[in-house]
Structures are given as structure tokens and as C-alpha cells.
Amino acid sequence: MKQSASQKELLGLATQRYAENIYLAEDYLKNRGISIAIARLASLGVVAEPEIGHEAFKGRLSIPYVTKTGVVDLRFRSLNPAVEPKYMGTTGAETKMYNVLDVERAGDWIGVCEGELDTITLSSCVGIPCVGVPGANSWKKHYTRLLADFERVFVFADGDQPGTEFARSLARELPVTIVQLPDGEDVNSAYVKYGAAYIKEKAGIV
């Protein structure tokens, strides 16, 4: 379903307002190796005062899906590990690819991973242009077309069964290089533990 201009405008305004409160997530982001400067680049925010319809997301990290035409979706992550579900989205929103602006800024190759914060980690902390999907089962056929012109597509597979299966399913769609992360690790946790150089080395990118 195509979004109306007014829907996009409301999403954009909510993104701006929540971004003003990003300092409330500073400790959480610091533990994940993401600076406030990088969080601001990604327009991350905190829902301190919810917009109408966003009451259920109060206190959560807001993660906007930004395209050339503006903000097309917002997802919300719990800042408290004990609170489930970890991620929530607006009712009726379709799953979208995250960080699509990197498709244009990438050169001959691009990375793909699960999770928005993992995508931010690869793109802004490690320096590997990257797009992401919210979860292992979120890939859609038209995403494949979006990446078809790249010489190489690096798929960063989480160190669990869904991550491995996600990478293998993409390998059936595209000529990919699978970068398998250690058991129990994802891009962000591997970056925090081992650093950017480790991830580049795993991918063979020097």
C-alpha cells in the first residue's frame, strides 16, 4: 500500500521529536558501541512523549526507516533487556529494507545483515556500506533486484540457526559471500567484543 504524503510527514515529525531525546539512550547505545554522534546520523530517538498512536512505545528507542523521499516507517526497540517484545512496529506497517540509502553510496559491493542496530554498526562503525532486514524471515523478492547490480554482496550471518538459514536462502537468490559470525554472536556483539578490524578481516575486506 502506497503511503500518503501526510503519513510520511507525520512519520518525519515524530522522528524529529524523538531524536531530541536520544541522550536518554546514551548508556544503552554506549554498551553497544554506538556513539551519540552515530545515533544522530541514523536519526535514532527515544519516545519520551509519544505522538498519537505511539503510546505503546513510550520509553523505547525509535528507529526510522529513511529513504530519499523521507521517513517511510518507524520501529521501536526496548531499552530494557527484560522487556518483551524487544521490537515493536506500527499497526499494519509492511516490512521494509533498512538503510536503503547505502545502496547508492556503496561502490562495487555491499553488506546485508539482520537487525537495524547491526546495520548501523556495519555501516557507520565498521565502515562497510550495508542494508538490513528486521529479522531472518523478512527478506522479500524485490530486495534481490535492488542488490543485483553489485559485484559482491556480503551476507553477515548471525551465529545461530536462523542466521545460517537466512544466509543460505540469500545465496540461492544472489551470488553472495557468506560471512559466518561465531556461535551466539551477531554483527553488533562481535564488533563490541572484537572490533571493526575483526569484522573486516572475517569478510576479507582490508
Q: What pLDDT score does 2 carry?
A: 58
CA dist., res. 150 & res. 60, Å (int): 35
Q: What is the average pLDDT value for the chain, to the nearest integer?
A: 95
The string of pLDDT tens digits covering residues 28-49 is 999 999 999 999 999 999 999 9
Secondary structure (3-state) at 169: helix
Q: What pLDDT score does 3 carry?
A: 65
Check pLDDT > 60 for residue 1.
no
CA distances from residue 1 to 4, 34, 92, 93, 172 in whole angstroms, order as listed? 9, 33, 10, 9, 28
The string of pLDDT tens digits covering residues 77-128 is 999 989 999 999 988 888 999 999 999 999 999 999 999 999 999 999 999 9
The predicted model gives 136-159 an average pLDDT of 93
Q: What pLDDT score does 90 carry?
A: 87
The predicted model gives 154-179 an average pLDDT of 95
